[in-house]
Amino acid sequence: MRFHAFTYILVAPLLLTYGGLQSDSSIDQIRSEARQHQYDLSTDGKTFLADEAQRASFFLLGELHGEKQIPDLLRQLWPGMWKDGYRYIAAEMSPWAAHQLEFAPDDHENKIVTLWSKDQALFVHSFGTSQAILWGCDIEELQPQLLIRELAKSNPTNQTLAHMAEITKAGYDRKMAPELLASTRKLTSLRDLRINDASLLDNIRATFEVENDRLKPETKFLAQQRRELVMKELFLLHYKEYVPSNAQAKLMLRFGRNHLHRGYDARGISTLGNFIAELAVAEHKTVFNLAAFGAGGKASLLGETWDADERNDDPAFAFLASQARYPATVFDLRPLRSILHGIPADKRSALQQKLVYWADSYDAIICYKSVTPLQSD
């Protein structure tokens, strides 16, 4: 991500040349479509997204992490989306964390750490009633020790839970995962808790299954598959709980960009986004997939700050950023699909292959020329 502006000025023309676009007859058409189908997020881009949300049943936002632009976008879009029938937001957090953010009072001793803030959760909740709007659809990778404590409180005589709480009382480290996972498999008779529609024990166990697989290089891919499966299973759990009684309800999903692709992503995994696309087809509903990337600025999360310029990470991002006319530019990627697929697969340059990947995965993408670090509450 660390890509200095001067270096970029020198490298960008070479990137386009050796990426194959400058020598390809389709370059003018691709550039023309990218320029013609871009919008200023502060004006007509916001209208474009609102119109697409109104037409869709599922609005998928594949976000960046650690910047304030996406939370700001949510605040701008959600009031109109609520009026258009959106009632729930599936989020990249555990069911327990979703419940805590939406309903529990602030706990300064055990502050909840998630990709959302409590302020964001209360904002979306303010449009509804006492019913949950946030759906937690992930493991609890940041603070699993808090889930253990919650379950231990309901089972004060359970020695296995007491042991798990003891070894995590100073905090959680991934190296603890094998022992904690083994302990969860001994928890066969206890008072489980149902939080945000899900079993607390099941979510704890799933968390340590993923965390355990993350420890070894040979099982990291399995960990990614496991986590994506947890997301799908939790989403379906919520969906079955709420949607049958409110069949017209629309849903927003806000996850990291890797989780909301159509098809298989670069890791070789069928994502949650792909699952939603197939669910929509089965139910005769429509999906709109929106991604975002940074072309400059800084992001910050969990005490770490990093360069948010992604142009050097992906030639498609570099190309789109070079065509963007606004500080936050929304590109409609759909007009590019037929052009790109008109190029034989074995003739596509590296850049064209990446453009195909993003145009097939997402309907639109936001290029933020500079993002701002997210500030903690």
pLDDT digits (tens, 9 = 90+) for 38-79: 999 999 999 999 999 999 999 999 999 999 999 999 999 999
Q: Inform me whether the pLDDT recorded for 22 exceeds 70.
A: no
120 pLDDT tier (thresholds 50, 70, 90):
very high
Domain boundaries, the chain: 5-85+248-368
Measure CA 15 to chain center: 28
The three-point CA angle 150-165-98 to 5° equals: 35
CB 85 within 8 A of CB 252: no
Measure CA 288 to chain center: 14
What average pLDDT score do residues 255-284 get? 95
pTM of the model: 0.90
Strands 86-91 and 58-63: unpaired
pLDDT digits (tens, 9 = 90+) for 142-156: 999 999 999 999 999
What average pLDDT score do residues 244-256 get? 90
> How many CB atoms are located within 10 Å of the residue 242 CB?
17
